[in-house]
Structure 1
Amino acid sequence: MKQKFDIHSLSPAQILSLGYLIIIVVGTGLLSLPIATIQEGGMNVLDALFTATSATAVTGLIVENTAEFFTTFGQAVIMFLIQIGGLGLMTMATLFALLVGREITLKERLIIQEDLDQFKLAGLIKLVKYVVTVALSIEAVGAFLLFLRFVQDMPVGRALYFGIFHSISAFNNAGFDIFGNSLENFTGDIVVNLVITSLFIIGGIGFAVIAQVYNNKRNFKKFSLHTKMVLSITAILIIAGMLVAFTLEYNNPETLGQLTLGEKTLASYFLAVTPRTAGFNTVPTGGLRSSTLLFMIILMFIGASPGSTGGGIKTTTFGVLGAVLYARVVGRDDIEVFKRRLDKNDIYNAISIVFIAMLLVLVVTMLLNITEQAEFLALLFEAVSAFGTVGLSTGITGGLSRIGRVLIIITMFAGRVGPLTIIVAIAQRKAKANYKYAKERILVG
């Protein structure tokens, strides 16, 4: 006799994975409708699935030009999927439940905790309200500032629509655009560059960090260890990325070579920030030198911060590995950061996340090398961009085979939900054993 499916028996990780899958399926159905595209008969299911996954995973990889292929309805569906994917499925579901006056159960709170990467159950509903309020407020400010700039070049209604779309896409680190060539028309435009980068930096540091920075009036000493690590690592990666991009691309005629010194500096800054899962570009990504692409792969793999709208292994995971390496070099047993000792479970989780992520990227890249005709570096770049939910591409996405598109879809989904969450969702946790085996050392390195 077959056992009846009971959603209540599922773990939070399983429900979260299933929830995102349902959103993607619904998005695929909507984008397949004839009203969503200019193509007669509508978009084919695989391409609609690819686009829905890319939007929900706030990635930005596209097989069809968003500006030219989709109608206003199709673009609105993409924008809605971006908002759900960026703020988190459970944030939106909780908001709806609160609006209709329904109580949030303990099981639902556990799922919210998983979705928002929080330590405690206490204060989760308050955090959800805060997330929605902050996100919509920042998006509104961003949309207004972009509207003021765009209205100089286009009609009022169109400028407002473009402002809203790109503000939502930027804050949620999605990278979708409706200009047709990302932001390449605004390479030297300081207003567009600063507004867009500010949106995806704020969206990428995480809502808990935003709240703590605001409440503690930017007093660094009062911040938690998590906030200190997020802000420090984010700043280091941006500065390092800017210097590397400026140095490597300075004389490249396809990117920075023809720009003024001020435009080169602005474009280098954008190149440093956008791999942190944002996905917009102001210079052609396909024109970047191989050395720059390789460095951007590292930035994309690291990604944004926990509890944010971005993907990747996360800044704090990268920071934990750096702290472990430093402790080994100086011969310390305890792993310390900012005069605080790290919990061993956080260290184990960080190592597990990096190992799983590297394994996923390598396997996908290997399979893409079998199914596709592109160069290895371009395929590796595509795989890491999908995992990190970045959306940058050297231009090969539209030419991927059906198998290649399926591989990227799976990678984007894994990147959004989180590799560790998916592994936990698939695996059955075993009860802790009440015994320990004898310890024995091995040679490593």
Structure 2
Amino acid sequence: MNWIDIRKWKFTPPQVLVLGFALMILIGTCLLALPISSVHGTSLTLINAFFTATSATCVTGLVIVDTGTHFTIFGQIVIIALIQIGGLGFMSMTTLIAFVLKKRISFKERLLLKEALNQENVDGIVRLFRKVLVYSLSIQCAAAVLFTIRWSFDLGFSKALYFGVWHAISFFNNAGFDLFGSINGEFSSLTGYANDFITNFVTMALIILGGLGFIVLSDLIEFKKVKKLSLHSKVVLSMTGFLIASGAIIIFILEFTNPHTMGHLSFGGRMLASFFQSVTPRTAGANTLDLSSLRQATQFFLVILMFIGASPGSTGGGIKTTTFAILIGAVIAMIRGKEDIVFFRFRLAKERILKAITLTMLALFLVIFVAMVLSTTEDAAFIRIIFEVTSAFGTVGLSLGLTPYLTVFGKIMISLTMFAGRLGPITMAYALQPKQEKELYRYTEGKITIG
């Protein structure tokens, strides 16, 4: 019998993923609710433990209590373990154990890996998974070394080593959890390092590499050998570069004269802060500026970036860069009177376009619905609510300070939004829908007027 005998399971791959993440959240809730997890020696309330476990497993970063000041070393290790498992996917971790135990990976397990890594087929999925592990651990180790060296000047070597490893895992997985509340005050994130080039650069590199997706990383590493990139990698890299550059420019313009955010920074510091705040909405959750002091135009712009999110097959959330690229391509094609969407001399299949539209509409409906519900239950301005909801859906973790003051109902709604955002609206829909039956006929084509 295979060690993870799922061949007899009556669940589809999307349903297994949903149940697997739910089980991880349940285990994390129980561990974080233990008195040993809290520095005060008292149990965290069940709803707060559930919220924190959901945020960690879904690599979001929204928190009700400050991670650095509330949790003990045990609690912090539980959180970072949930982040690592949630970032790679629980199925990836079970496959890793199978590798260690030298067990064969069955076909159904390969199907689950395909779903977990967001791939189109099972061809080479185990080989891709091995690359995922090697790339992930290598990048995190390199970043941990750089963090340790830089922070050892401020924290001492032993604490800098712990902080370096912990934050390398958190930032690469785009989780947004941090421990700097114990250094610079609760919920301070990286505001104490707004002018620090090394901290900013390494953090942004982790966020970008974690958000590109493992297929793109594999293509980049093997580019020297094969001398070409896949269409997917070209679209992801070009769209990622465009969003980061344009985002930094817009944030720089909007916040340049804001005395509460960039006003006290040098010109170079303002440029650095602009780029950091452009990168971090790509589902990372760390910040070097006080987000609640940003102008509302900037806050809404961050909502748009959070909704777009990272790229497919990555540790990030959102509708993904490729989906956004297809939507932009569809608009351009329609304006130019073209029938096909063409990227780098490749025509996209109609089913890809329909899937992008479906994903966007499901995501938009989810965010709007949750925001409307919370606007009736929470005592807060709508911009703060839509910011928090979008942050939860995009598994970003950026906050305008509303999360700690949510009602119990609000915490449950945000938790469910994080869960749906991590798995993806389409995966959730597939998991909940009844078994599909093949259509035996098609209706006559009709026409309606649009516009």
Q: Normalization by structure 2: what TM-score?
A: 0.96
Give the match for residue 404 of structure 1.
410
- How many Å apart are 1:206 and its aligned residue? 0.5
The aligned counterpart of 2:189 is 182
| CA deviation profile, 1:117-157 (whole Å, cap 9, x unmatched) | 11221111111111111101110000000000010011211
Could you give the per-residue CA deviations for residues 85-144 of structure 1, whole angstroms, max 9, x where no partner exists?
A: 111111111111111121111111111101101122111111111111110111000000
Alignment match, 1:365: 371
Letter in structure 2 aligned against 1:394? L
Alignment-mate amino acid for residue 293 of structure 1: Q
Q: Give the aligned partner of residue 448 of structure 2.
A: 442
Corresponding pairs, count: 440
1:207-286 → structure 2 map (5 Å cutoff): 207-217=214-224, 222-286=228-292
Q: Look up the match of 1:198.
A: 205
1:31 — aligned with what? 32
Name 1:60's counterpart in structure 2: 61
Partner residue in 2 for 1:325: 331
Partner of 2:156: 155
Q: Percent identity?
A: 47
Alpha-carbon distance in 1 for matches of 2:366, 2:254: 29
Q: Which residue matches 2:114?
A: 113
- Tell me the amino acid that sits aligned with residue 369 of structure 2: V
- How far apart are the structure 2 equivalents of 1:334 and 1:243? 31
CA displacement 1:338-374 (0-9 Å, x = unmatched): 1101112211111111000000000100011011001
C-alpha distance in structure 2 between counterparts of 1:64 and 1:443, whole Å = 52
Q: Say what the alpha-carbon RMSD is for the aligned residues.
A: 1.3
Unpaired stretches in structure 2, ≥5 consecutive residues: 1-5, 182-187
Residue 79 (str. 1) matches residue 98 (str. 2): no
Deviation, 1:428, is 1.5
Q: For the residues of structure 2 that align with 1:422 and 1:167, how far apart are their CA atoms?
A: 29
Summarize the alignment of residues 16-27 of structure 1 with structure 2, pairs less than 5 Å apart.
16-27=17-28
Q: Which residue in 1 is equivalent to 2:129?
A: 128
The structural deviation recorded for 1:315 is 0.2
Deviates more, 1:178-187 or 1:423-432: 423-432
Q: Indicate the residue corresponding to 1:166 in structure 2.
A: 167
Aligned residue for 2:392? 386
Distance 1:234 1:69 in 2: 35
Given the two structures, how large is their TM-score scaled by the length of structure 1?
0.97
Distance 2:274 2:224 in 1: 30
Q: Is the 8 A contact 2:7 2:108 kept in 1?
A: no
Query: Which letter does structure 1 place at the counterpart of 2:134?
Result: T
> Cα–Cα, structure 1 residues 406 and 218, in superposed 2: closer, same or farther, change >3 Å?
farther
Matched to 1:197, the amino acid is M
2:307, 2:194 → 1: CA distance?
25
Larger mean Cα displacement after TM superposition, 362-371 or 37-46: 37-46
Which secondary structure state, in structure 2, belongs to the residue aligned with residue 293 of structure 1? helix
TM-fit CA distance, 1:218: 9.4
Going from structure 1 to structure 2, the CA distance change for 1:330 and 1:185 (only over 3 Å counts) comes to same
Mark the runs of 5 or more structure 1 residues left unpaired by the alignment.
none
Deviant stretches of 4+, over 6 Å: none
Cα distance in 2 for residues equivalent to 1:208 and 1:167: 21
1:29, CA displacement in angstroms?
0.6
| Pairing partner for 2:299 from 281, 285, 293 | 293
Conserved? CA contact 2:13–2:111, under 8 Å = yes
Deviations 1:378-435 (A, max 9, x none): 0000000000000000011100000000000000000001110000000014222121
